[in-house]
């Protein structure tokens, strides 16, 4: 398959490397504009694990905004050490300020030491607490959730019978720092490809607790649907936005 420019296409989108990267970056900037996520001159805190999503987000945002990376080290053996190395390397290369907070220092124990029955629940709660403690120094907190993450979150909420969240892309008011998800419309395989092209991560690692999570079951279900009906995840997210009368791209 050839890209419209005549070069060899590298993705199912029929684009060469250059046009694929341009498409992804412009989609992220369009998402930011459409939803008014970040204004010029605002201080942006990027929740950065050092994985493909957060490094992709950092790379794109740092071209235009004043970003600081916040890494939260949960203390998960043979996982977080590796992603932190990638993050430190990246931040040094692009001259991005990096703050590292640990569960050990902030919560009294690592996640491994705490060994809770539902590690992802505790992990998420502690992470949100730490992020909130830093929020007042920033105008915006950006996270690297991609379209697949959001499709999973929508279904998880449906299965848990939680009310629909009113603002999937933006949250905040005069009391809380705005939270935004600029990768919202980018499918996970595209983020992975972008990270690979730019050599952002040394290896694609996964937390050992991921397999136990409720999210994993939903993810596997969605992957099967996507195989049988390509575009299923995107259709789910679009339907959700339409129900909330929120703009699509
Ligand atoms: Fe935390 Fe669960 Fe993610 Fe591991 S998979 S980093 S425990 S939320």
49, 83, 120: residue to mutate for ligand 1 pocket, most atoms within 8 A of CB: 120
Answer whether 209 contacts ligand 1 (Cβ < 6 A): yes
CA 207–ligand 1 middle distance (angstroms): 6
pLDDT value for 61: 98
Answer whether 207 contacts ligand 1 (Cβ < 6 A): yes
Answer whether 97 contacts ligand 1 (Cβ < 6 A): no
Instruction: State the CB neighbour count (10 A cutoff) for residue 37.
Output: 23
pLDDT value for 111: 96
Q: Over the stretch 91-115, which tens digit does the pLDDT of each residue have?
A: 999 999 999 999 999 999 999 999 9
pLDDT value for 166: 45
pLDDT value for 173: 63
Instruction: State the CB neighbour count (10 A cutoff) for residue 196.
Output: 13
Token pair in block for residue 230:
């390509």
Instruction: State the CB neighbour count (10 A cutoff) for residue 224.
Output: 11
The 3-class SS string of 46-88 reads EECCCCHHHHHHHHHHHCCCEEEEEEEECCCCCCHHHHHHHHH
**Which is the closest atom of ligand 1 to the Cα of 119?**
7
Q: Which residues of the chain have pLDDT under 50?
A: 166
């Amino acid at each position: 398959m050839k890209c419209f420019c005549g070069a060899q296409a590298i993705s199912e989108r029929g684009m060469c490397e250059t046009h694929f990267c341009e498409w992804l970056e412009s989609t992220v900037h369009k998402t930011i504009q459409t939803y008014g996520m970040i204004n010029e001159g605002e201080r942006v805190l990027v929740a950065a694990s050092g994985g493909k999503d957060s490094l992709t987000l950092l790379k794109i945002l740092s071209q235009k905004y004043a970003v600081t990376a916040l890494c939260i080290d949960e203390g998960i053996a043979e996982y977080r050490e590796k992603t932190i190395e990638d993050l430190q390397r990246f931040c040094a290369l692009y001259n991005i300020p990096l703050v590292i907070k640990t569960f050990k220092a902030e919560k009294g124990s690592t996640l491994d030491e705490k060994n809770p029955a539902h590690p992802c629940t505790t992990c998420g709660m502690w992470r949100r607490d730490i992020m909130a403690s830093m929020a007042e120094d920033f105008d915006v907190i950006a996270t690297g959730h991609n379209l697949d993450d959001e499709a999973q979150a929508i279904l998880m909420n449906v299965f848990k019978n939680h009310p629909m969240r009113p603002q999937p892309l933006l949250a905040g008011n005069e009391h809380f720092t705005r939270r935004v998800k600029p990768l919202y419309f980018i499918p996970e395989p595209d983020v992975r490809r972008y990270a690979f092209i730019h050599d952002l991560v040394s290896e694609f690692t996964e937390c050992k607790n991921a397999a136990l999570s409720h999210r994993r079951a939903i993810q596997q279900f969605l992957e099967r649907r996507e195989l049988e009906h390509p575009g299923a995840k995107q259709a789910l997210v679009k339907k959700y936005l339409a129900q909330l009368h929120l703009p699509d791209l």
